[in-house]
Amino acid sequence: MSDLKVNLTAPNGRKITLPTGLYINGEFVKATGGQTITSINPTDESEIATVQAASVEDVDKAVAAARAAFNGSEWRDLTNTDRGGLMYKLADLIEAEKETLATLETWDNGKPYQVSLNEDLAEVTGTLRYYAGWADKIHGSTIPTTGAKFAYTLKQPIGVCAQIIPWNYPLAMAAWKLGPALAAGCCVVLKPAEQTPLSILYFAQLIEKAGFPKGVINVVNGYGKEAGHALASHLDVDKIAFTGSTVTGKQIMRTAAVNMKNITLETGGKSPLLVFDDADFEQAAKWAHIGIMSNQGQICTATSRVLVQESIYDKFVEEFKKIVASTSIVGDPFKDDTFQGPQVTKAQYERVLGFVESGKSEGATLAHGGVPYTKVGEGKGYFIEPTVFTDVKSSMTIFREEVFGPFVVLVSFKDEAEAIKLANDTTYGLGSAVFSQNIERAHRVASKIEAGMVWINSSQDSDFRVPFGGVKNSGIGRELGEAGLHSYLQEKAVHVNMGTKL
C-alpha cells in the first residue's frame, strides 16, 4: 500500500488497486486537513478502505482547477465532435473495467453484484454514450423579427458545476450528471457520498486514460457538512446538481442563493402505485414488488404506497405477500440468487426498523417481515426482512414519510376519485404508477397524479433517454433525456442591427 493507493481483495476474490486520494486537476492528492473517511462493508460491518476527505481548502483547489479548465483553450477549443469522442472513450474504458467497478459498488453499497454489473454499469455506459451523441447536436436558432434586425441564439455551457452524488446508485447517478455536463462543455467538481466513495475513486483513474484535459472532472470525497456545504456556497461555482434527501436539498437551495446558482435538485419521494380492478392482476403484483423491493428499497422513486381497489384488495395482498416471500431472497450480495442485500449503513438499518415500530404503534398490521434478517454473516450486517404493512390509514406516519428501505404500505380505495386523492395526499411528487387495462382510465389518471413521472403498467423501468425529476418536495429541474442536457446550457440572444440609423 502506498500513501494514496491500497491493494484490496474483494469478497468475490477480485484483486483491486484502489486510489484513495482526492482527484484534483488530473492527479490524486492528499487532503490538506488530514481528514479521512473509512468505508464500511454493510454485509459484515468490516472496514474496506480509508480514503481522503476534502476540507474547504481542497474544495477551493478543485473549483479553481475546474475554472482554469473551463477558461482554458484545451477544453474550450475542442470541437463538439471531439468532446463527444472523449465521452465515448470514457464509456469504453468503463465497460472494460465493469467487473471491478461492479465489485466495488456491491462491496461498498450492499446491492447485489448482478444488479451492479448487469443493470447499473449498463446504465452508466449507456448514459455517457447517449450524451456523447448529443455533444455535436447542440445549436441555437435564428428568429425572424423584422427586416431591420437579424436575431439568433447561442447555447453555451453554464460553467463550473458542482455535482453531489447519493449513495444508492453511486456510478449511475454520477453518469446522469456528468453526461449532460460534459456534452454541454461544462467542467465539474464531483462529490461522492461519504458512505460510498470507492467505485467513483476507481472511475476517476479512467478520466485521464480517456484523454480529458486536467481539471475538467475533479473528484472530492468528503463529508456533506464540510465539502458539500463548501461547494453549495462557493462563489465560483455556477451550478449545483444534487440527488439526495429533501432536507439536504432544501439546505443546498438556501446555501446556493449566495450567488444565485443554477440548481437541479432530485430529492425524496413517497410514490404511489395504483392498482384498479381491471388490471392484469399478476403483473400488477410483480411490478409492485419490483417497484418497492429492488435495490433494498433504497430508491427515491420507490412506489412505496400501493393503493388497491377494494374489490380486489384482499386477493392482491395475498398475492403480493406470496411474491415477496418467494422472490425477495435476502442474502450475501455476491451470491447469484440474492435479490436483496443489506441496507447501506447502520443508520439506514435502524431507520427502517424505527418505522416498523411506528407502524405497529399507530395500529397498522404488520403482514410480512419487519424484523432483522440474521441468517447471513453470523448475525452481522444490516439485513432486514422485506416489510409489508396493511390496514394503513393516510394519517399514519408510514403512509406519509419516506422510509427508504424494503418497506411498503398497502391501502384500499373505492373508486378512481378516491385513488387520485390518496395518490396526491403527500408533500412529495417524484414517481407514480397506474395499473389498468382501460387505456382511457390509465391516461386520465396519469394526467391527474401530481408527480414528475408516471409509469403505466410498470414501475421503476426508467430510461436515460426520458426526462427524470419531480414536483413539490421531490425536487427542481430534470435530469436525463434532452431536458437533462438543457440543464447545463444557457441561451444567449444576439441582436444584429441590419442598418437602422438614429
What residues are labeled active site? 266
DSSP-assigned states of every residue in 237-257: --EEEEES-HHHHHHHHHHHG
Rounded Cα distance between 417 and 391, Å, is 20
**At which residue does the C-alpha cell 500500500 appear?**
1
SS3 label, residue 359: helix
Record the cell numbers describing residue 253, joined without a space.
Answer: 437551495
φ, ψ at 94 (rounded to 5°): -65, -45
Burial of 364 from C-beta contacts in 10 A (0-12 / 13-18 / 19+): buried
Record the cell numbers describing residue 45, joined without a space.
Answer: 460491518
Rounded Cα distance between 342 and 44, Å, is 9
Task: Report DSSP state, residue 340.
Answer: B
Task: Report DSSP state, residue 502.
Answer: -
348 within 8 A of 298, measured Cβ to Cβ: yes
Region of 282 please: left (phi>0), alpha (psi -120 to 50) or beta: alpha
**DSSP H helical ranges for 147-245:** 170-184, 198-210, 229-233
DSSP-assigned states of every residue in 120-150: IHHHHHHHHHHHHHHGGG----EE---TTEE
Record the cell numbers describing residue 377, joined without a space.
Answer: 454473516
Rounded Cα distance between 248 and 502, Å, is 54
Half-sphere exposure of residue 97: CA atoms within 13 angstroms, side-chain side: 26
Rounded Cα distance between 10 and 17, Å, is 11
SS (H, E, C) 261-285: CEEEEECCCCCEEEECCCCCHHHHH
Q: How far apart are the first and last CA of the chain?
A: 74
Cα–Cα nearest to 404, from 425, 428, 380:
428
Radius of gyration, alpha carbons of the chain: 24
φ, ψ at 88 (rounded to 5°): -60, -40
CA 442 to chain centre: 27
φ, ψ at 46 (rounded to 5°): -85, 160
